[in-house]
Amino acid sequence: MLTLSNLVIAMTAGFSLLWQLFQVYTVAQGTPATSSRSRWFLVLGMRLRNGAIADDYAQRLNRASVLRKENPDCYILVLGGGKEIGGESEAHKGREYLVARGIPSSQVLVEDKSNNTLENLRQARTLLAGMDEKHTVLITSRYHLARSRAIATSLAIPHTLCAAEEKLRFNARVFFRLLQEAYYLHWFVVGSTWARLTANESLLKRIS
């Protein structure tokens, strides 16, 4: 699928990628950092740096902490199985971070059997299905919102988006992140479209 995605970019002279970049930027710019009341908040994890939580990941966790104050009976599900050799998963580190900031451990759950956003949300869907949950709030960094929304929608997870940051602060690093996400989103969209057009059952099982 990656090869096919790159071929589409080449055949469209880059316009298909630019369209996804526009989508990523629009969602990043327009998504609020607030949410209506909910019982479940999903926090997308992020690769640890030398065993520590990166700034972007901390922003996601901090946003969950703020929303929990407005929804004291909620549950927070921290996603992410990535770990360094011999260390804890990013989800467990996220849980420790939240508990250290006063959130009861009974209200913070982890999903650490996945290594990317698609796997994160597939596992989350399985966990939430067992609880008959109908709606969730998905918290992640602004540059990551569009792809997370596309995957959650493909998996039929009822959700609303909540940005980790108060607003999009545009700089070189953020532009690179937006472009990177546009590339990944393009890959997902092309793969999803191809799976449906060809009725590829193995691919369809992964994305739906």
Report in angstroms the alpha-carbon separations of 174 from 26, 142, 146, 163, 181: 14, 9, 14, 14, 10
Task: For residue 26, report the phi and psi dihedrals to the nearest 5 degrees.
Answer: -60, -45
pLDDT in tens, 7-22: 999 999 999 999 999 9
Record the pTM: 0.92
What pLDDT is recorded for position 203? Answer: 82
Query: Tokens for 1?
Result: 């699928």
Closest residue by Cα to residue 44 from 163, 139, 149: 139
Domain residue spans of the chain: 2-207
User: What pairs with residue 49 in β-bridges?
Assistant: 52
Nearest to 112 by CA among 86, 88, 133, 132: 88
Q: Residue 50: what pLDDT?
A: 84
CA distance 63 to 24: 20
- For residue 204, what pLDDT is reported? 83
State the number of CA atoms in the 13 A half-sphere of 137 facing the CB: 24
Of 60-64, 140-144, 175-179, 194-198, the least confident: 194-198
Arithmetic mean of pLDDT over the chain:
92
Residues 27-50 have pLDDT tens digits of 999 999 998 788 899 999 998 888
Query: For residue 192, which of 144, 161, 147 has the smallest C-alpha distance?
Result: 147
Q: Return d(Cα 68, Cα 41) in angstroms, integer.
A: 9
- In this prediction, what percent of the chain has a pLDDT beyond 70? 98
Q: Which tokens sit at 5?
A: 């995605």
CATH architecture label of 2-207: 3-Layer(aba) Sandwich (3.40)
pLDDT at residue 90, as a whole number = 92
pLDDT above 70 (res 86): no
Q: What is the pLDDT of residues 110-119, one digit of tens each?
A: 998 888 999 9
> Who contacts 174 (Cβ-Cβ below 8 Å, separation ≥6)?
143, 168
Q: Is the pLDDT assigned to residue 78 strictly greater than 80?
A: yes
